[in-house]
Every structure is written in structure tokens, then in C-alpha cells.
Structure 1
Amino acid sequence: MRGSVFRGSRRGSGAAVAAMVAFSTALAGQHHVAAEGGATPSVPPLKLDWRVCVQDSPYDCATARVPLDYSRPRGRTIELAVIKRKATGPGRRIGTLFFNPGGPGGPGTLQMPTGYDFFPKEVRERFDIVSWDPRGVGNSTAVNCFASPEEAETWNASKPAGFPVGRQERKAWVSAYEELGRLCDERDPELLRHVSTEDTARDLDQLRRAVGDPKLNYLGISYGTILGATYANLFPSRVRAMTLDSNIAPTAWTNHASDDARLPTFLRMGSDRSAAATLDQFLKLCGSDAAHCAFSAGSPQATRSKFDRLMNRLRKHPVSTWTYARTVGDTVSSLYIVHPGWTQLAARLQDLWQGRVPQPPAAPAAPSLPYPVPYLGEEQAGAVLCGDSPNPRDPRVYHPLEEASAARAGDAGRFWTWAAEPCATWPAVAAHRYTGPWNKRTANPVLVVGTAYDPSTPYRDAQAMTKELADARLLTNTGYGHTALLNPSSCINAHESRYFIDGTLPRPGTKCDQDTPPFSTPLTRTGAPTAAGGPAPR
């Protein structure tokens, strides 16, 4: 799940890759395409014509054409952009591993290549790795509610950054998202109703069949965990190996299959409390290590006090465009990737403390991407979230909810409450929403990975996922950040490799540490990390 699925969610394809979906209906049976055990005969078989994406690229690309509505397979079709990296160990290939990078709205055609080296080496050797831009997203048939990039920029500038503070900003915020919903409904209302997780799970099964695998191998992170859980319960006999990393509790996502949404999605999940706990760890570790953290005040308590004073100061005196709300949003999003995210966040906070406009970190060399970078407007994530997961439909309730969340989670509570408010005025509900059951017995057990301090998907949600699935094993990452994939642990990788290759699960209660603790790189005089001894840049 991203820093927010609506705003601030495009922090580069190598950042978090992160959030959600699922919500059937009492009439789900009449909407479902087919019972588990076989595809509907009337759905044409999918054929993938692989080609080298660009000259000398190790990636192959294909375009898949699938039904917009699986209950009407001969009706309108849409395109899915698909990408593959072949197994690197000739003669040892097991099959295909499908990867979803989260979001919702994560473009797999970009995020799989940029994150490819994070996959365990043994997995890269034994599996072709395939990802795709889900329906509604990126290079696939995408939700795009603006006539031009300039129109999108104008709309984005009409609302406050981070979240609204004060009556006037709340009015501007609600008005902007009302306009977004109206524009989206005018351009392609039919598409808005068919970008649900259930729809995407059926696309995934079509892709599995197209590559010739009898059962699915799958790695989903953040929102990709809800996609995986949905697939596992729609097609339980087709699961060979499935790892779900940084989980969303299914019943929190679906609100226990109820449309009575008293709380927004992220507060049901507990994202506010989890972000607050992760921020506490950031300030504690920063305060304990002034040599490695630019924002340190010499002790955990003093550093916490310094952060709170900075937030209070920014409420009254922003530093250029760095308002209180923008800084809170940047802080929560920057907790996702420990290296180099935490060190860079500390440097920005120190700049603000000293009244300076933070300088953006030096961008790493841009990789050569096999697919063009598409339009990735926040309406793509919003179409999935708002169509699938119930949220309060009255914009007026979000301010009281914000205050209640702030009472339990501080600044992070304000951020996560408003993250779902755009759903209050979203114009569409998904035609096919999966709400459960979540406990269908899969052909093989599922591996669930949860991180102790995750600013987006709480560890408790990984525990809930393990409990709600029929047969799942929890592997605990005792570290920090959003997803174990992007915050590497050799221990996690070793367990995932054994599981994907031969089905061996870790023992119950297994815990793993991350390879590199936060703030492990010495600082230069400018507060930037030195090159020696640091982690590989993202």
C-alpha cells in the first residue's frame, strides 16, 4: 500500500510499491464467471505473443486482451501490458512466478524491472518472473480522467498537499475530489465499474493459463496480498506457492462484508497506529545515534520533542511550500524504505528545523526501462480502492474521524484518515466485489510475511491474514519499513526461496532480522550518508 493511494503515491517506481481491494455482494454468485475448478468455456483462451521489449533488453513484453466484464466475455475487451524476465538458470526452470507490486495502482511493467534484483537469487534462477499493469493502470487500459497532462496538473494544484488543515482547506479538498469523480464518470464510467480485485484475479488466472502453468506461483506485496487472497479463494485448487508480504487483513478491507462503513479503510486496517509506532521507532533510533542521524537531538526523548516542536512550528510558519501537512505526508511515506529513506528523511527534517527548504536527494542513475513510463494519475488507485472497499460517503464525517485518529496516533492519524476521504464522492461501485469467504482450503499452504514496524500495513494485519486463510504460515520480519522485499533480509529470502522451490515452510514462530539496521551509515558534514558501508541505492 502506498503512502496514500490518492496523493503522494508516485514516489518513483522503486519506492514502496503499495495497497488494496475486495468486496463481493450478496449477489456475487450470479456475477461470478465460473465455479472454481475450470474457466468458463465461453472466455476465449488467452495467447501471449512475447517479443523483446527493446533492443538488447533482458525483458520480453506482451499485450493480453481480456474481457472487461467476465460475466459478458464476448463484450468489450481491454488490454493488459505484460512483462517477463526469463529464469537465469538454464535447465533448472520450475515455472513462472507472477508478481504484483501493490498500490493499488502499481504498474508491474515498471516496478518489476526496477525491483528485479530484490527477488531472491534462487527464485530468479528457477522461475520466469512475470508482472503486468492491472486493468485500469499504467500501460494497460487505464483510468485517465483528464484531457491532458496540463489539466491534471491544474487539478492537482487545486488541493492542499498531504491533507487539509482548517475549514478552508477541507472545503478545497472535498471540492477537488468531487470534481475528480465527476470527470472520471464523464470519460469512461463502464471501466470504473470493472477494475476490482476480483476482476484482476480473473485476469491473473487467464495469464497463468497463457504461460502454461497448471498452478499459480505468486508473490504479492501490500495491496497485492488482497489480490493473492482473493485468487486463493476464487481458485483454491490452483495455488502451487503464494507469498503475501505486508498484508491487509481481508475482513478489514471488506469491512466484514458490510456496506455500513463507519470507519475508513485505513483506520479499520490500523494503518494510523502502525505508522505512529514506526515513527516512534524512527525517532528513538535517530535520537540514539547522532553520528548517523542528522535530526538527532542526542536522546530519544529529546528527538521526539524536537519533532513535535517542528510540527507545531510548521502549522504556523511553513518553510516555503513545506507545510505541516505536506511534511507529515512526506514523513509517513519516507518510512517505507529504510535505506536510504530514513537517513534522507532525517536530513529533510533537519533542514526544516533550521528553516531551510529541503534539498531533494540525488537521484540514482535511472535504469533503462523496457516499457514507457505511462500516466499514473491517482484516479487509477482510487478507482480500485473506492470501487472495492467501503468508506464513509459523507465528507463531513472525516474531520471528526481525523481528530479521533489523531488522539490515538498523532500526526499519522490525520494523514491516514484523509487518505480515504476521496472515496466519499467517488461515482462508481465495482460490479464484481469479492467479500469472502477467505477460508477455502488451497491446494498448498500460503506463506504470509509481516514486518514488525510497518508504516502502512500493520503486523496485526499479517496475523489476521494468517488466521483468516484456511492454511497459512506466518513468517515474522522483526525490522522496519513497508515490505520485506524492499527492505532486504537474507533470512526472509532464504525461507521464501525454499518455499517457492520445494514447498518447505518455515517452522511456526520463525522470526528474521533485516540485513542492515537503520542509521548504519556514517554521515558527512552535510548530513548526507557516506558511500562507504552503505546499502545499495534504490
Structure 2
Amino acid sequence: MHTRRTHRRTRTGTAAALLAASALLIAGCSSGNSPSTASAAAGEAAGVLAPLPRSTPAALTPYYRQKPAWRDCGVPGFQCATLKVPLDYAEPTAGDVRLALTRKKATGPGKRLGSLLVNPGGPGGSAVGYVQAYAGIGYPADVRARYDVVAVDPRGVAGSSPVECLDGPGMDAYTRTDVTPDDAKETGALVASYKRFAEGCGADAPKLLRHVSTVEAARDMDIVRAALGDGKLNYVGASYGTFLGATYAGLFPDRAGRLVLDGAMDPSLPARRLNLEQAEGFHTAFAAFAKDCVRRSGCPLGGRSTGVGRAGDNLRAFFEKLDARPIPTGDADGRRLTESLATIGVIAAMYDEGAWPQLREALTAAMKENDGAELLLLSDSYYERDAHGDYSNLMFANAAVNCLDLPPAFDSPDEVRRALPAFEKASPVFGEGLAWASLNCAYWPVRATGEARRIEAKGAAPIVVVGTTRDPATPYRWAEALAGQLSSARLLTYEGDGHTAYGRGSACIDSAINAYLLAGTPPKDGKRCS
């Protein structure tokens, strides 16, 4: 149920989402502390990401001197290219990774401002796919007129030497794994599922799997910056993309240009705390959905007098029924709606309040008509499963990056059980599943190379950090925390629902960010929009 996934899509975290979510949920919880108190304590205890030397090592010079050979790539208005980066920055002669790039050239009028690199999050989301499908046409016309909009799939993702772990049927089995085990047999089945997933990843790319960290991806971005001919990196990163962008600023503060970090992550938190606070974020989003739902006629979670707690109880009761007896979906492959798939379907709709009507209809069909088709469709969208039963590599890369970036949240099922009360308090509906999802990195075939660290990026130009008050996947306190760490941050707040804020309908947010990207004028620190 990979909870740690914080993918930007209009949907950088339950079985697979919990299996996947645990990827974006990396945090270490402190017994007896509230999330906010423990978060502050964790940030104070974390080390600081040190910048790299300003001079380029001689062994990396050939990479920095590359020039992309742009070509038509079959998508109107876009060009594509590839660049080489070292597999291992400690041994640049040990092999290469090929990165996939795309760009839509500035359309004018007005002076060209260079390249604007865009990353939608994940980890594991295809930046190339996102830019070609949305950013290259959906970003404000003034921004597209002045910048070449550019995307690069990070190493291990989509077009850039993708990590693969399981085939379609294997992923189908993985996504329906019960992530709320009731006994030793079910616990053993969950552990076995995590192990099969990890073993598949290890068998596919044993060398690459050791080199897909966020630090390495950030170093790749500096090679991309140089290849594009830009003196500084201009960047819009959403969700996990904020962690990638902040890491770049921490490593190369003098090369950080206009950086927008939307739906921010807190890099100072260990895995268990990240997962715990994300669970709380999903509860905040569910509460907003439930309040909206019960005010409407026919809400499957209750009527107008139903409180959030009771609505959550009704949803949990439905999940428990599915745990005992999955319901039909009409799926061509015979898949039924399990508790894990239904939970992910609900979580998927938490990313965008625009999906709430679809979720109400899906829950109504499943809870009242015994038809799980719509919830399965939401779950499939989260996992990026197509109608042919094939999956993108999103979940594979998600786990690969997360399990390398931070030591595992839990080392054993017993540790999860001891933490269940804290997770269930943070999220009565999703907490149990998200806690068990946080176990997946315990069985990863390679040891983590990263650790929780503050990022200060001293000397960087102003960096805009954006937080949404009821963001499910990247809780607002993470934006506050990152803005408090970055020496040049300007915190921009959206008081609303959904994951991330830029380009989602707030004229206040969009105008503030556009002014920064086009004129270099950051918003006043603490500016709030609604």
C-alpha cells in the first residue's frame, strides 16, 4: 500500500499503495510525542546536507560537456534526447546510465529565460510523460513563452533505465495482498509478498538498484543543466519533486536559480515519522471529504447528522467486510475488489478534491450495490495499471528510491505491531494499513545509502516553498519545516484541499508563482491564498 508515494499527478507514501505508500512514508516516530513535537525534535537531531565543491571533478568533465541531440519524438511540439550520467559518482568510469529528456521550446514573445525543468513527484513518476501530457500545454502561456519547458526521467524511472520488479500478474497479486493481517498466517503472506517484490527488483537491476538515490538524481540534474547551457537551474518540483529540488539546492546552492517546491516534503524526518505524519495527512483529507459527503443526499457514509468519526467507522466496517469477502468488479481478468484495492481506491481520490464525486459514486456502488468496478478503476489509476493488465514502473521505482534514501521504518512485524496504536490514532481509517505498508523496505535487497538530513542551501537565491493546508500526501507541516530549514525560503500557503497547489485553480497561487518565474520576484514570506 505504498503510502510514501507523493506523486504529483492530479491524483513523491493500500496494499500496493500501502506497499507503495510505505515508500513515501519514511519517518521515525518517537513514543510519547505528538507528531508536531516529534517532527521538530527529529529536525533538530538531523544532520545537514553539505554542498559539493564548486569545481567539477575532472572525471565528470566529459559528462558536463555533452550536448543533447534533439530529435522529433512523435509528440507534437516536443523534442526528445538522451544524456549519459555516471552510474556511480564515486567511480565515474564504472558505467553509465542513459537519461531520457524532452522539451517544448519557448514560443515567445518576450526574452527567453532559459530552461524550466519540471518534475511531478513520485518518486517514480515520469517527468517526460507528465510534461508531454500536461505541463507543456497546461502551464501558463506566459511561462511557456519565455522558457523551454524541459523534463528528464530520473534514473530508474520510465525512459531512464527503468527498474522492473514484477510482471502484470505478479503485480496483480501484490496489489491485492492483505495489508491488515489478522493472524500469523496473514502476516507471513504479507512478508512473503514484500520479499517477492524486493527479490524481483534485485534480480532485474542489481547494480542500478544501488544507485537510484535522490542525491544521485540531483547530481544528474546538474549535468542536465550544463548540457542545456543554463548557468543556473530553474525548476518546478511537486510532491517528491520538492525533495529532489531541495536536494539540488543543498548540493549546488550557487547554481540554484528560480526554484518552486510545491507540496513540500521534510527531508529531516526518518522513515517511520514520515509515514506516521503522512497517515495523519490522509486522515485530514478524509475528514474534509467525509464532511462534504454527508451533507449530500445519498452519501454512502451517512447522513447530515453523521460526524467524521462515524463516517470513518462506516468505511472501516465496509473494508472489514471486503477483507472477509471481496466483491465482484466485472473485470476481464476476474479480479475482485479486496480490502487492499478498495483502500487504495479511496486514497487515490484523496489527492484531488475534484475526484470526490467519483469517489462518492464508487463507494455507493460498492457499499450498496455490491459492485466494485469504480473503486477498482480508482485503484488501477493509482498503480498505473492499463486495460491490458500491464503496469508502468512507477511502483518499482518508488520503492527503489525510497528504500535507498532512508533506512527502513520497521525491521520486523513485531515492530509494526508495537507502533499500530500511534498509526491508528493518526488515522483511524487508514493507519493500520499504512503502518504495515511501512514494513516493505525491511526486505530490500540493498542497504539504504541515505539518511534524514536538514537542507539549508546557504547562499541560494530565494526559493518558493508551497504548502496546502489539507494536503493528504505531503502534510502542511512539512512545507513549514522545509521553509524553516532553507536559508532563502519564502513560504506560500494555499488554504484548501488536494495535493499541491500550482496550476490547480487558485489564481492567487498561480499569479504569485508566475511572477517569481517570470520576473524573479518571490512572494512575501508567509503569503496565504484561499
Q: Give the shorter-chain TM-score range.
A: 0.7 to 0.9
Alpha-carbon distance in structure 1 between the residues aligned to 2:24 and 2:315: 32
Amino acid at match of 2:198: G
- Select 1:122's aligned residue among 142, 150, 163: 142
Q: CA deviation at 1:466?
A: 0.3
* Matched residue SS, 1:65: strand
CA gap of 1:36–1:139, structure 2 versus 1, over 3 A, is same
Residue 165 (structure 1) aligns with:
181
Residue 327 (structure 2) aligns with:
319
Q: How does 1:197-212 map to 2 (within 5 A)?
A: 197-212=214-229
Alpha-carbon distance in structure 1 between the residues aligned to 2:294 and 2:216: 47
Amino acid at match of 1:475: L
Q: CA deviation at 1:91?
A: 4.3
CA gap of 1:419–1:245, structure 2 versus 1, over 3 A, is farther
Q: CA deviation at 1:338?
A: 1.8
Q: CA deviation at 1:139?
A: 1.1
CA gap of 1:377–1:481, structure 2 versus 1, over 3 A, is closer
- Select 1:278's aligned residue among 285, 288, 293: 285
Structure 2's unaligned 5+ residue stretches are 14-22, 28-46, 329-335, 382-389
Residue 53 (structure 1) aligns with:
73
- Select 1:137's aligned residue among 133, 148, 157: 157
Structure with bigger helix share is 2
Alpha-carbon distance in structure 2 between the residues aligned to 1:457 and 1:77: 33
Alpha-carbon distance in structure 2 between the residues aligned to 1:22 and 1:101: 19
Could you tell me whether the CA contact under 8 Å between 1:248 and 1:465 is conserved in 2?
A: yes
Alpha-carbon distance in structure 2 between the residues aligned to 1:385 and 1:50: 32
Could you tell me whether the CA contact under 8 Å between 2:238 and 2:261 is conserved in 1?
A: yes
Amino acid at match of 2:275: F
Alpha-carbon distance in structure 2 between the residues aligned to 1:68 and 1:468: 30
Could you tell me whether the CA contact under 8 Å between 2:198 and 2:445 is conserved in 1?
A: yes
Alpha-carbon distance in structure 1 between the residues aligned to 2:127 and 2:238: 12
2:348 pairs with 1:333: yes
- Select 1:287's aligned residue among 276, 291, 294: 294
CA gap of 1:452–1:303, structure 2 versus 1, over 3 A, is closer
Q: CA deviation at 1:5?
A: 5.2
CA gap of 1:208–1:420, structure 2 versus 1, over 3 A, is same
Q: CA deviation at 1:21?
A: 10
Q: CA deviation at 1:102?
A: 0.6
Q: Give per-residue Cα distances to partners, 1:441-489, cap 9 Å, x unaligned.
A: 1331110000010111100000000001111011111111111136331
Residue 429 (structure 2) aligns with:
411
Amino acid at match of 1:319: I
Residue 3 (structure 2) aligns with:
4
- Select 2:208's aligned residue among 172, 191, 194: 191
2:118 pairs with 1:102: no
Amino acid at match of 2:179: F
2:443 pairs with 1:446: no
Alpha-carbon distance in structure 1 between the residues aligned to 2:24 and 2:68: 27
Alpha-carbon distance in structure 1 between the residues aligned to 2:506 and 2:483: 21
Could you tell me whether the CA contact under 8 Å between 2:125 and 2:394 is conserved in 1?
A: no
Amino acid at match of 2:152: W
Alpha-carbon distance in structure 2 between the residues aligned to 1:300 and 1:234: 53
The 10-residue stretch of structure 1 (446-455 or 92-101) with the greater mean CA deviation from structure 2: 92-101
TM-score by length of 1: 0.81
Amino acid at match of 1:133: D
Q: CA deviation at 1:160?
A: 3.3
Residue 344 (structure 1) aligns with:
358
The 10-residue stretch of structure 1 (104-113 or 399-408) with the greater mean CA deviation from structure 2: 399-408
Alpha-carbon distance in structure 2 between the residues aligned to 1:188 and 1:286: 45
Could you tell me whether the CA contact under 8 Å between 2:68 and 2:227 is conserved in 1?
A: yes
Could you tell me whether the CA contact under 8 Å between 2:285 and 2:471 is conserved in 1?
A: yes
- Select 2:371's aligned residue among 332, 336, 357: 357
- Select 1:154's aligned residue among 160, 170, 173: 170
Could you tell me whether the CA contact under 8 Å between 1:272 and 1:413 is conserved in 2?
A: yes
2:235 pairs with 1:230: no
Alpha-carbon distance in structure 2 between the residues aligned to 1:398 and 1:22: 13
Q: Give per-residue Cα distances to partners, 1:280-308, cap 9 Å, x unaligned.
A: 11111222344xx8547441625753452
Structure 1's unaligned 5+ residue stretches are 256-260, 365-372, 514-538
Amino acid at match of 2:338: T
Q: CA deviation at 1:355?
A: 3.1
* Matched residue SS, 1:250: coil
Residue 69 (structure 1) aligns with:
88
* Matched residue SS, 1:407: helix
* Matched residue SS, 1:251: coil
- Select 1:471's aligned residue among 488, 499, 503: 488
Could you tell me whether the CA contact under 8 Å between 1:249 and 1:462 is conserved in 2?
A: yes
2:467 pairs with 1:462: no
Residue 535 (structure 1) aligns with:
none
CA gap of 1:153–1:296, structure 2 versus 1, over 3 A, is closer
Residue 367 (structure 1) aligns with:
none
Could you tell me whether the CA contact under 8 Å between 2:516 and 2:522 is conserved in 1?
A: yes
Amino acid at match of 2:180: P
CA gap of 1:46–1:110, structure 2 versus 1, over 3 A, is same
Q: CA deviation at 1:309?
A: 2.2
CA gap of 1:187–1:326, structure 2 versus 1, over 3 A, is closer
Q: How many residues align?
A: 475
* Matched residue SS, 1:99: strand
Q: Give per-residue Cα distances to partners, 1:200-247, cap 9 Å, x unaligned.
A: 001000000011110110111111111111111100001111010111
* Matched residue SS, 1:334: helix
2:304 pairs with 1:299: yes
Amino acid at match of 1:164: T
- Select 1:266's aligned residue among 260, 265, 275: 275
* Matched residue SS, 1:139: coil
Q: CA deviation at 1:328?
A: 2.4
Indicate the RMSD between aligned Cα atoms, in angstroms.
Answer: 3.1
* Matched residue SS, 1:42: helix
Q: CA deviation at 1:136?
A: 0.7
The 10-residue stretch of structure 1 (191-200 or 325-334) with the greater mean CA deviation from structure 2: 325-334
Alpha-carbon distance in structure 2 between the residues aligned to 1:300 and 1:446: 45
2:375 pairs with 1:376: no
CA gap of 1:465–1:17, structure 2 versus 1, over 3 A, is closer
Alpha-carbon distance in structure 2 between the residues aligned to 1:398 and 1:502: 49
2:102 pairs with 1:83: yes
Alpha-carbon distance in structure 2 between the residues aligned to 1:453 and 1:501: 28
Identity of aligned residues (%): 33
CA gap of 1:221–1:424, structure 2 versus 1, over 3 A, is same
Alpha-carbon distance in structure 1 between the residues aligned to 2:451 and 2:407: 12
Q: CA deviation at 1:143?
A: 1.3
Alpha-carbon distance in structure 2 between the residues aligned to 1:299 and 1:374: 40
Alpha-carbon distance in structure 2 between the residues aligned to 1:157 and 1:22: 24
2:314 pairs with 1:309: yes
Q: How does 1:386-401 map to 2 (within 5 A)?
A: 386-391=403-408, 392-401=410-419
Amino acid at match of 2:455: W
Could you tell me whether the CA contact under 8 Å between 2:253 and 2:458 is conserved in 1?
A: yes
* Matched residue SS, 1:189: coil
Q: CA deviation at 1:393?
A: 2.2
CA gap of 1:58–1:405, structure 2 versus 1, over 3 A, is same
CA gap of 1:491–1:199, structure 2 versus 1, over 3 A, is same
